[in-house]
Structure 1
Amino acid sequence: MSELRSLIPSPHSLFVFEAAARHLNFKNAAAELNVTQPSVSQSIRALERHCGTQLFIRENRGVQLTEAGRLLYDSVRFGFHRIEESLRTLSSTETRYLTFAASTSVAAHWLMPQLYKLQQDHPNLRIKVVTTDRDIEPDSEIDLTIWIRDRDFRRPNSWYLCDEVVFPICAPKYLADHPCIGTVSDLTNHRRLHAFDRFRKRMSWAEWLARVGVETDETQPDMVFNDYQLTLQAALAGEGLALGWSLTSALLLHNTQLVRPLPTEINTGNAFFLIAAPGATLTGELDALIAWIRAQTADLSKGQGR
């Protein structure tokens, strides 16, 4: 018989711990489990006493995992994921969806326009797309996502897609209706659009112009949005110039919905990576989706040395 029963107060304590560690908030974990917050706190304290170590650091606005807590959370999350995969395999009635998490801009302007092709290439593949405003770790609910990391980033179940390259973009109509853009200095005389993402740091116009050698005291964007998707929509509507990212803008440029007024660009030294959980089993369906996504970005990665 497994020794696990003697190592934990009860199997339920692992479910409580997993929810609390995932939310980093006892109140939210209680709401998910349909129990009271004191019940969650009591269960966590019992687990800590049983393990003989502190798993959470209690703070005013929530909790943080200790090193021991992170170690246990990684094991519990991986174990739950494997159990769920097995149960799904045993269930003949459940439709298996592969869940892809992406920013709203990547989902709307890179993935969604190509889903018809995915269905043509893999008619039996079922995919669920969810949007997120921050980087999330794939787990039992998320199969794949995309991160931007240093170009030398390495970890199990991660795949390089293309370099992060940033450049000005605008609608053809905007370019036709406004003064000619012959040099990067001309950009300061045009309307500039920018996104401020709370959880993702994006290069600003001031930073981009400084890196291409434009000295100006007037580098503030004319319009700021709290989601890059809105910035792209404003650019598509002809409201001004936006900064474009290599992956996100690829199809918009290919279909000439947006254009690059100048060839000048900044390679940030980072890259887009496709990410699955480090311990995830690459089933036939998941492996097919990974191969398909990498094939769609093959042209972007040509000549980038990876």
Structure 2
Amino acid sequence: MARQIPPLNPLRAFEVAARLLSFTKAGEELFVTPSAVSHQIKVLEDSLGVALFIRQAKSLVLTTAGQAYLPEVQRAFQHIAAATQRLHSHNLSVLKINTPPTFAVKWLIPRMARFMAAHPTIDLKVSTSAPMVDFSREDIDLAIHYGRGGQPGLRTVECLPVEVFPVCSPALMEGPHPLREPGDLRFHTLLHDDSTYTDASNPNWAMWLNHVGVTDVDATRGPSFWPSHLVINAAVDGLGVALAKKHWVRDELAQGKLIRPFEASIPVEFSYFIAYPEERDDDPRIRSFVDWVRSEVAQDQETLAQD
């Protein structure tokens, strides 16, 4: 008995249109016209004998059947993408990684020579283009995400905890208003990390000042920077005081380019996680990278404990 598999192009059009709830937006993603998407959906509905959308004047709504069908179709495409990835992995030594920009600049790239020496047959291809990777649609093997982990369908491995504290140029310890206590910040410019981390638990200057009991410093003033390594560069150049993540300023602190004017720090609920689809658990390239990151983090922790 022949399997009842609907035509794949209409099926893809359905997944995109159902996800975006718009034939126009679906056409933009698929590089076709909205009418072509509508035609593909009609072909699929005729093939299935079921209506998948309710077409209203200014909106598109999934029917009950469409709502039930969508997650299964998305899983099917994810399995196809994973199977294709495994097929390619037998022949390719390239590991495609997407990371936040500052993670790449301040942590990954300074250590890449050690990965290359340990794994000469794997070429890393590093990008910073996507804050959140959709593995079912993007040609990425693994991603570094900033958050709490535990994303559905993904294997997540914590690779870097986060702690935040103020840093500044040593020059700010001199002059008419040297930084001796947190209240002295009212005489200095606050530099803000304007990275797009939207969770309210991510520390900012208002939270740090509240943490140390300072109420007479305006935490809303001062220039903002994105990505995070730009605010660190601004602090090195003496533009003001930055609130920085510990791992991003290790080198600058060791070299004396930055100092910690105050010891108070705030641990962060978020961490950096390695994330990849669960079905790629047996990919030797991913296993090699995960093991290497874990060894680097362990070495970092030993070094920090000795400092």
- TM-score higher than 0.5: yes
Mapping of residues 67-146 of structure 1, within 5 Å: 68=68, 71-72=71-72, 74-89=74-89, 92=91, 95-132=92-129, 134-139=131-136, 141-146=139-144
> 1:228 matched to which residue of 2?
228
8 Å CA contact 1:163, 1:301 repeated in 2: no
8 Å CA contact 2:173, 2:180 repeated in 1: no
Change (3 A) 1:179 1:293: farther
> 2:297 matched to which residue of 1?
297
8 Å CA contact 2:102, 2:228 repeated in 1: yes
> 1:263 matched to which residue of 2?
263
> 1:182 matched to which residue of 2?
180
* TM-score relative to the length of structure 2: 0.78
8 Å CA contact 2:146, 2:271 repeated in 1: yes
What is the alpha-carbon distance in structure 1 between the residues aligned to residue 85 and residue 233 of structure 2? 38
Change (3 A) 1:295 1:14: farther
Q: Does 1:277 align with 2:285?
A: no
What is the alpha-carbon distance in structure 1 between the residues aligned to residue 22 and residue 295 of structure 2? 39
Deviation of 1:109 after TM superposition, in Å, equals 1.5
Mapping of residues 10-29 of structure 1, within 5 Å: 10-17=7-14, 26-27=23-24, 29=26
> 2:168 matched to which residue of 1?
170
Deviation of 1:288 after TM superposition, in Å, equals 0.4
What is the alpha-carbon distance in structure 1 between the residues aligned to residue 53 and residue 247 of structure 2? 39
| 1:146-204, Cα deviation, whole Å (9 max, x unpaired) | 223348x4765211224332111223455566843222222332211113334645532
- Local SS of the residue matching 2:13: helix
8 Å CA contact 2:162, 2:246 repeated in 1: yes
8 Å CA contact 1:205, 1:221 repeated in 2: no
What is the alpha-carbon distance in structure 2 between the residues aligned to residue 22 and residue 63 of structure 1? 11
What is the alpha-carbon distance in structure 2 between the residues aligned to residue 276 and residue 169 of structure 1? 34
8 Å CA contact 1:163, 1:246 repeated in 2: no
Change (3 A) 1:217 1:245: closer
Change (3 A) 1:171 1:287: farther
- Local SS of the residue matching 2:183: helix
Change (3 A) 1:296 1:36: same
Gap regions ≥5 residues in structure 2 = none
- Local SS of the residue matching 1:258: coil
Q: Over alpha carbons, which structure has the higher Rg?
A: 2
**CA RMSD, aligned part only?**
3.8
* TM-score relative to the length of structure 1: 0.78
| 1:55-105, Cα deviation, whole Å (9 max, x unpaired) | 799997999998546513541342222231244146x5xx44212111111
Deviation of 1:301 after TM superposition, in Å, equals 5.9
Q: Does 1:37 align with 2:31?
A: no
Deviation of 1:34 after TM superposition, in Å, equals 3.9
- Local SS of the residue matching 1:134: coil
Q: Does 1:210 align with 2:216?
A: no
Percentage of pairs with the same residue:
24
Gap regions ≥5 residues in structure 1 = none
- Local SS of the residue matching 2:277: coil
> 1:147 matched to which residue of 2?
145
8 Å CA contact 1:21, 1:73 repeated in 2: no
- Local SS of the residue matching 2:271: strand
| 1:17-41, Cα deviation, whole Å (9 max, x unpaired) | 4555677765565355443232123
Q: Which amino acid aligns with 2:27?
A: A
Comparing 60-69 with 42-51, which one deviates more in the overlay? Answer: 60-69
Change (3 A) 1:215 1:252: same
